[in-house]
Chains A and B, each alone.
Chain A
Amino acid sequence: MRTDQLTAEFETFQGELKSFILRMTASVQDAEDIIQDTYIKAHAKMDTFRGEASLKTWIFSIASNLARDLLRSKKRWPETVTDICREEALGNRQFFQEAMQIRETSPQGKFEIKEHIAFCFTCVSKSLPLEQHLALLLKEVYGFKVTEITLILNQTEAMVKYYLHVSRGRMIEVFDNRCSLINKAGICYQCTELNGIFNPKQKAQEELVKIEMARDAENKTKEELFDLRMKILQELDPFESGAAELQLHHLEHNRQVIENYLEEGQ
């Protein structure tokens, strides 16, 4: 493979790769660094690419290994990440001032509930064990087959199936317990709460009926609701959407809050 071929193909899925790494690391800086390092590594090892898998699978494998190296020594986030970060945000005037400024001035500063649903999943899914998190995103959000994930993660098919089964089940349970959009008894309603702050003239209910997962929650099974949640992530590019800057600002806030929280060992 020649450099120009690698570069051309890399560019066709670079956006997906970057969003995958962002959703693994919750850090824009880490995502950008890993994307660069992935390209450099792929270029250096170009001669070893035999085409046994697609180039995309091979590149995702390099990126997954780099993400693993970065994340292996870091603690996983708690499932209650959004509760912890909400408390911190409420006492952080600067956070809201910055967010409001982004909301008012940035072309990517809209607040949309479905964007926040994707953001929320990025935070909560970081509570899964690392290998499960990787496998779940690769399958449910980026559409890789089990056989491709075995190559990306260098795991057996049996282990990948185990990771997928357990992680999917865990996330279904967590969101069923927490998310008030799909369960009236759910304890978290941050997406509608923030919609009230950033879009005060908008009625949350009118927005929610536009989101299939919320609109049809009573008629769908937990499995189907999880698939609809994944569909929201599949359709959103966290770097390119109309809400990207606002959500990335929020994500950076949460990352810093949780890293401090974990460091203090609470």
Chain B
Amino acid sequence: MKQMQTNPRAQEGKATTIRKTFSRETSVQNTIMADPAIVWALLTHASDFPRWNSTVTSIKGEIKEGSTIELKSTLDEKRTFKLKIKEFVPEKRLVWGDAQGNRMYSIEKKAGGVLFSMTEKIGGPIFPLFAKYIPPFDESFEKFAADLKKEAETIQNSKK
């Protein structure tokens, strides 16, 4: 299993993109003061995504090892992405993707909360041909991470 490296120089909640000829990689990370189980629950309850995540319009299917989901995002509302769940390690790591790329989520436990990281790498031999048609992910990634933080911390702080 490929480990996702957290970037010590990354700014909290600020997305960064590395562009290469045959690939593009966007990442974001932020600290969430919530139990890893809450962050994991939010990332894996497919039908609940649109309620808290302003970048996802809908997800059909179940987010579990080996399954396929159909995701619609605000980046391109006309398009449905059919994505396979490639890695599913509860409360640690989730990867989904298709032939063009993968989206990796990582949850790293730290004092009082978690360090959440999200990276999407797209690319391949024909990437230069379609690269200009793919919108930048930075803003969407920042919103995703901020929404996740807000929702997870709200749940964490809900009354007992």
Please list the residues of chain A having a beta carbon within 8 angstroms of any beta carbon in chain B: 145-147, 156-159, 161-162, 164-166, 169-170
B160 and A147 contacting across the interface, CB-CB below 8 Å? yes
B160: A residues at CB distance < 8 A? 145-147
Stretch from B18-26, B33-41, B73-81, B138-146 forming part of the interface with A: B33-41
Known contacts: A156-B37, A166-B45. The answer to whether A161 contacts B156 by CB under 8 A is yes
User: B41 near A159 (CB under 8 angstroms)?
Assistant: yes
- The reply to whether A158 and B35 form a contact with Cβ atoms under 8 Å apart is yes
Flag if A162 contacts B42 (CB, 8 Å): yes
Contact A158 B38 (CB under 8 A): yes
Q: How far is B38's CA from A147's CA once the two chains are assembled, in angstroms?
A: 16
A158 to B42 CA separation, bound complex (whole angstroms):
11
Q: Quick one: given A145-B160, A146-B160, are A162 and B51 in contact (CB under 8 Å)?
A: no
List residues of chain B with CB within 8 A of the CB of A170: 51
Closest chain A CB from B47 CB (angstroms): 9
Closest-CB distance, B135 to chain A (whole angstroms)? 30
A to B contact number (C-beta, < 8 Å): 35
Q: Does B158 contact A (CB under 8 A)?
A: yes
Contact call A166/B38, Cβ cutoff below 8 A: no
Taking the complex as formed, is B154 at the interface, i.e. its CB lies under 8 A from any CB of chain A? yes
A46 to B154 Cα, complex, angstroms: 39
Known: A159-B37, A159-B41. A165 touches B158 (CB 8 A): yes
Number of interface residues of B (CB under 8 A): 15
B4 in the interface (beta carbon within 8 A): no
Q: Which of B2-51 contact A (CB under 8 A)?
A: 34-38, 41-42, 45, 48, 51
Q: State the B residues within 8 Å of A (CB).
A: 34-38, 41-42, 45, 48, 51, 154-156, 158, 160
Residues of A close to B156: CB separation below 8 A: 158, 161
Contacts of A164 in B (CB 8 A): 158
Query: How far, in Å, is B159 (CB) from chain A's closest CB?
Result: 8
Q: A113 to chain B: closest CB distance in Å?
A: 30
B residues less than 8 Å from A169 (CB atoms): 51
- A166 and B45 CA atoms in complex are apart in Å by 10
B37 surroundings in chain A (CB, below 8 A): 156, 158-159, 162
Most buried by B among A161, A162, A166, A170: A162
Q: Which residue in chain B gives the minimum CB-CB distance to A163?
A: B41
Instruction: Find out whether the CB atom of A166 lies under 8 angstroms from the CB atom of B35.
Output: no
Chain B residue with Cβ nearest A155: B37
For the complex formed, measure the closest distance between the CB of A157 and the CB atoms of chain B, giving whole angstroms: 8
**B43 → chain A closest CB, angstroms:** 11
Whether B158 pairs with A158 at a CB distance below 8 angstroms is no
- Besides A156-B35, A159-B38, A161-B158, 13 more A-B contacts (Cβ < 8 Å) are A146-B160, A147-B160, A157-B35, A158-B37, A158-B38, A159-B41, A161-B38, A161-B155, A161-B156, A162-B37, A162-B41, A166-B45, A166-B51
Q: Which residue of B lies closest to A168 (CB)?
A: B158
Q: What separation, in Å, do the CA atoms of A145 and B35 have in the docked complex?
A: 18
Sorted nearest first, the 10 A-B pairs with minimum C-beta distance are A158-B37, A158-B35, A162-B41, A165-B155, A158-B38, A146-B160, A161-B155, A156-B37, A161-B158, A162-B38
Name 28 A/B residue pairs within 8 A (Cβ), A-sorted: A145-B160, A147-B160, A156-B35, A156-B37, A157-B35, A158-B34, A158-B35, A158-B36, A158-B37, A158-B41, A159-B38, A159-B41, A161-B38, A161-B155, A161-B158, A162-B37, A162-B38, A162-B41, A162-B42, A162-B155, A164-B158, A165-B154, A165-B155, A165-B158, A166-B48, A166-B51, A169-B51, A170-B51
Residues in A whose Cβ lies below 8 Å from that of B45:
166
The closest CB in chain B to the CB of A145 belongs to B160
